[in-house]
A and B are shown apart, each in its own frame.
Chain A
Amino acid sequence: METDVELRDVTKKFETVTAVDDVSFEVRKGEFFSLLGPSGCGKTTTLRMIAGFEEPTVGEIYVAGQPMRGVPAFKRPTNLVFQSLALFPHLDVFGNIAFALRIKKLPEAEIRKRVGDTLAVVELVGLERRKIRQLSGGQQQRVAIARALVNEPKVLLLDEPLGPLDLKLRIEMQKQLKRIQHEVKTTFIYVTHDQNEAMMMSDTIAVMNYGRIEQIGTPEEIYENPLTSFVARFVGQSNMIEGEYSDGFVVAQGLNIMVPVQQQLKSEVTLFVKSEKIAIARRLEQLDNIFETEVNEVRYNGPYTEYRVVLNRFFLNIVTPNLKGKEIFKVSDKVLVGWNKEDCIVMSKD
């Protein structure tokens, strides 16, 4: 597989802050690659270094095999969709999208054709003459994407482009973005702090924290097999239990929890169980860990119900789908909760 973007030991320092700390990754051609992480973890800085607005303090960035150090932004084969969109208010939709082509001094007929084609991809045909402020949020988003795409960049960089949209529109735009990527087959590097968004769209996710990459993998790998406690906490909704490990068991607050046998664990460990991996019922069988408890809190939200139960001294959160005919418990109902040892992720406490 051809590599389109590579970061090799890249560090970026601003005076006292280290915004990006020894980051390395490779993005394959045509891949949808996401940088996922909490606010301030260095996502925008990483993207800006690829786009050419910041130079790495240490390390090297390659785009399409070429080292990028010293190459100014306007000469790089990348285009960026800004977090704030940064559409030109003095130009209409057509003028915004045609911007890069006019800089390249292409013949007007070709500009019209390419802008027209791109408008079709983002489904904005007919809005050419609208001013930017006469567009809805979702339409502006698509103009920003079209403006970058029309340039046929090798790599499209997107900095939380769906940030300010409401949930419905976000989901709609996520689908559109996937469709667009499928059509243009450009490499996408997508920055987001929304794990659902990253999982639904990406081929590969890099989880970042404090300027470092914690884990790189497919959405499923990241979700099912987190390698660090940060990833386990950040991705998905997990219950975190601290205890002591010995011989395939974690002892926590007087409970004995069966977990997979693991070498190289210290005795002090943290155990994670995802909320949706825990079963809740009047009767449970054939699970490695089953405990009696009572319902402490119920939050019904349509397709799912979220329960909170007390186990000895700690709480467990459980999310369970409201399948047809399934009983919805009430506060103080006596229930059993249980899960398999394979659903436990155990890590040495750091």
Chain B
Amino acid sequence: MRTLSKLLDLPLNQLRKSKKSRTQFSVGPSLFWYAFFFVIPTGYMFIISFWRQSGIRLIPDLTLGNYFEFFVNPVYYGVFLKSLLIAVSVTLLSVGFGYAVAYYMATRIKKYKIPTLLLLLGPFWANYLLIIFAWKAILGKTGILNSFLQYLGLIEEPVGSLLYSPLAVVITLVHIWTPFLVLPMFTSLEKIDQTLLEAAEDLGANKRQAFARVTLPLSMPGIMVAVLFVFIPTVGEFITPLLVGGPAGQMYGNLIQVLFHRGFDWPLGSALTFIMFMVTVAAASILILKIGLQKVIESL
């Protein structure tokens, strides 16, 4: 405890001496917030990920057994790989779809851009749970899609595998994420100076080449931010798979949730959480390093 206060004292003393102390002090509350709600709980989880569980008792220990468990038990790494795959699909689809809509809006629509954009995205701005239940109603055994296909005579019996599948999870998540991506990508596309495209055309590029060599690289930071924005929370997603995923569509987040709630193995749950945390942090760092922090901040 004394060492902790010493650690805290040091910067405080420096702050007091600093002439710019006013601006630096204003960082205080948010630092506190960050420490209290992020660093401390995460630190606690990190610590217990090396503990053991016996019955309902947590046993302080220093074991890598929980991490080891992840790599030997195909349930854990299997579901993790499946979650990554789902997250990659959701990210590609929602970013691709969002980019296409944003690009169309930014380049093809000449008048009333913003109202058109809002009209177009209106139906997407529904509540998270509402979207999930809407897809249940569409994909279910007696749902709209099955009835329609039966009506057309394309199928005899309703297809049961539409809902409660990884596909349902992907569709629902793409629906949830896309509207959040269109607006920022639209803004970043709108910011691109049109004379740059004329310059490309003047230098011999046709429309497709101008897009590939000018529009796409200039909107890349925006795309990367969108990728992070979708990928990170999707890897740990658990509500959507819980409601529409069925047994085959369960994701890593569901495993962790079960371990904390019903399985009651907090050390293993913490270890699994940390593995996911490390992978997403690594993925994010690589992306950010690749495009440069400056550009990411500019595009926000």
Q: Which positions in A face B, CB cutoff 8 Å?
A: 51-53, 72-75, 78-80, 82, 84, 86-90, 99-100, 102-104, 147-148, 151
When the two chains form their complex, are residues A86 and B203 in contact, meaning their CB atoms are under 8 A apart?
A: no
CB < 8 Å neighbour of A79 from B193, B196, B202, B218: B202
- The minimal Cβ–Cβ distance linking A88 to chain B, given in whole angstroms, is 6
When the two chains form their complex, are residues B199 and A82 in contact, meaning their CB atoms are under 8 A apart?
A: yes
A151 to B198, CA, bound (A): 16
A84 to B198, CA, bound (A): 12
Determine chain B's interface SS by DSSP, over half rule: helix
- Chain A residues whose CB sits within 8 angstroms of the CB of B213 once the complex forms: 99, 102-103
Task: Identify the closest chain A residue to B221 (Cβ).
Answer: A90
What is the interface size of chain B, counting residues whose CB is below 8 A from a CB of the partner? 17
Q: How many A-B pairs with Cβ below 8 Å?
A: 60
A100 to B196, CA, bound (A): 13
8 Å CB contacts to A: which residues of B182-230?
Answer: 193, 195-196, 198-206, 209, 213-214, 217-218
- The minimal Cβ–Cβ distance linking B206 to chain A, given in whole angstroms, is 5
With A74-B201, A103-B204, A103-B205 known as contacts, the answer to whether A84 contacts B195 (CB < 8 A) is: yes
A273 to B24, CA, bound (A): 69
A312 to B187, CA, bound (A): 64
- Chain A residues whose CB sits within 8 angstroms of the CB of B198 once the complex forms: 53, 73, 82, 86
CB < 8 Å neighbour of B199 from A72, A78, A86, A104: A86
With A88-B214, A89-B218, A90-B218 known as contacts, the answer to whether A72 contacts B201 (CB < 8 A) is: yes
With A88-B214, A90-B217 known as contacts, the answer to whether A100 contacts B203 (CB < 8 A) is: yes
- Chain A residues whose CB sits within 8 angstroms of the CB of B206 once the complex forms: 72, 74
When the two chains form their complex, are residues A99 and B218 in contact, meaning their CB atoms are under 8 A apart?
A: no
- The minimal Cβ–Cβ distance linking B104 to chain A, given in whole angstroms, is 22
- Chain A residues whose CB sits within 8 angstroms of the CB of B193 once the complex forms: 84, 86
- The minimal Cβ–Cβ distance linking B299 to chain A, given in whole angstroms, is 13
- Chain A residues whose CB sits within 8 angstroms of the CB of B214 once the complex forms: 88, 90
When the two chains form their complex, are residues B209 and A86 in contact, meaning their CB atoms are under 8 A apart?
A: no
A89 to B217, CA, bound (A): 10
19 A-B pairs whose Cβ atoms sit less than 8 Å apart in the complex: A53-B198, A72-B201, A73-B201, A73-B202, A74-B201, A74-B203, A74-B205, A75-B204, A79-B202, A84-B195, A86-B195, A88-B200, A88-B214, A99-B205, A99-B213, A103-B204, A103-B205, A148-B203, A151-B203
- Chain A residues whose CB sits within 8 angstroms of the CB of B205 once the complex forms: 74, 99, 103
A102 to B209, CA, bound (A): 11
When the two chains form their complex, are residues A74 and B195 in contact, meaning their CB atoms are under 8 A apart?
A: no
A151 to B196, CA, bound (A): 17
- Chain B residues whose CB sits within 8 angstroms of the CB of A87 once the complex forms: 199
Q: Which positions in B face A, CB cutoff 8 Å?
A: 193, 195-196, 198-206, 209, 213-214, 217-218
- Chain A residues whose CB sits within 8 angstroms of the CB of B218 once the complex forms: 89-90
Residue from A80, A87, A147 with most neighbouring chain B CB atoms (10 Å): A80
A151 to B203, CA, bound (A): 8
Task: Identify the closest chain B residue to A51 (Cβ).
Answer: B202
When the two chains form their complex, are residues A99 and B203 in contact, meaning their CB atoms are under 8 A apart?
A: yes
With A53-B198, A88-B196 known as contacts, the answer to whether A151 contacts B204 (CB < 8 A) is: yes
With A86-B193, A89-B218, A90-B218 known as contacts, the answer to whether A103 contacts B199 (CB < 8 A) is: no
- The minimal Cβ–Cβ distance linking B261 to chain A, given in whole angstroms, is 48
- The minimal Cβ–Cβ distance linking B41 to chain A, given in whole angstroms, is 41
When the two chains form their complex, are residues A74 and B196 in contact, meaning their CB atoms are under 8 A apart?
A: no
- Chain B residues whose CB sits within 8 angstroms of the CB of A75 once the complex forms: 204
Task: Identify the closest chain B residue to A150 (Cβ).
Answer: B203
Task: Identify the closest chain A residue to B204 (Cβ).
Answer: A103
- Chain A residues whose CB sits within 8 angstroms of the CB of B199 once the complex forms: 80, 82, 86-88
Residue from A75, A79, A99, A104 with most neighbouring chain B CB atoms (10 Å): A99
- Chain B residues whose CB sits within 8 angstroms of the CB of A53 once the complex forms: 198, 201-202
Residue from B196, B203, B217 with most neighbouring chain A CB atoms (10 Å): B203
When the two chains form their complex, are residues B217 and A74 in contact, meaning their CB atoms are under 8 A apart?
A: no
- Chain A residues whose CB sits within 8 angstroms of the CB of B203 once the complex forms: 74, 79, 99-100, 103, 147-148, 151
- The minimal Cβ–Cβ distance linking B3 to chain A, given in whole angstroms, is 46
A53 to B202, CA, bound (A): 9
A84 to B214, CA, bound (A): 17
A-B contacts besides A88-B196, A147-B203, A151-B203, 6 pairs, CB < 8 Å:
A53-B198, A53-B201, A74-B203, A90-B218, A103-B205, A103-B209
- The minimal Cβ–Cβ distance linking B58 to chain A, given in whole angstroms, is 52
Sorted from nearest, which 10 A-B pairs have the closest CB atoms? Answer: A100-B203, A86-B199, A86-B195, A103-B204, A73-B201, A90-B217, A74-B201, A80-B202, A103-B205, A100-B204
With A99-B213, A103-B209 known as contacts, the answer to whether A86 contacts B204 (CB < 8 A) is: no
Task: Identify the closest chain B residue to A102 (Cβ).
Answer: B213
- Chain B residues whose CB sits within 8 angstroms of the CB of A51 once the complex forms: 202
When the two chains form their complex, are residues B204 and A104 in contact, meaning their CB atoms are under 8 A apart?
A: yes
- The minimal Cβ–Cβ distance linking B102 to chain A, given in whole angstroms, is 19
- The minimal Cβ–Cβ distance linking A122 to chain B, given in whole angstroms, is 16
Residue from A53, A72, A74, A75 with most neighbouring chain B CB atoms (10 Å): A74
A344 to B214, CA, bound (A): 56
Task: Identify the closest chain A residue to B216 (Cβ).
Answer: A90
- Chain B residues whose CB sits within 8 angstroms of the CB of A148 once the complex forms: 202-203
A72 to B199, CA, bound (A): 13
- Chain B residues whose CB sits within 8 angstroms of the CB of A89 once the complex forms: 196, 218
- The minimal Cβ–Cβ distance linking A101 to chain B, given in whole angstroms, is 9
- The minimal Cβ–Cβ distance linking B232 to chain A, given in whole angstroms, is 26
A22 to B254, CA, bound (A): 74
Task: Identify the closest chain A residue to B192 (Cβ).
Answer: A89
Task: Identify the closest chain A residue to B295 (Cβ).
Answer: A90
Residue from B193, B201, B205, B217 with most neighbouring chain A CB atoms (10 Å): B201
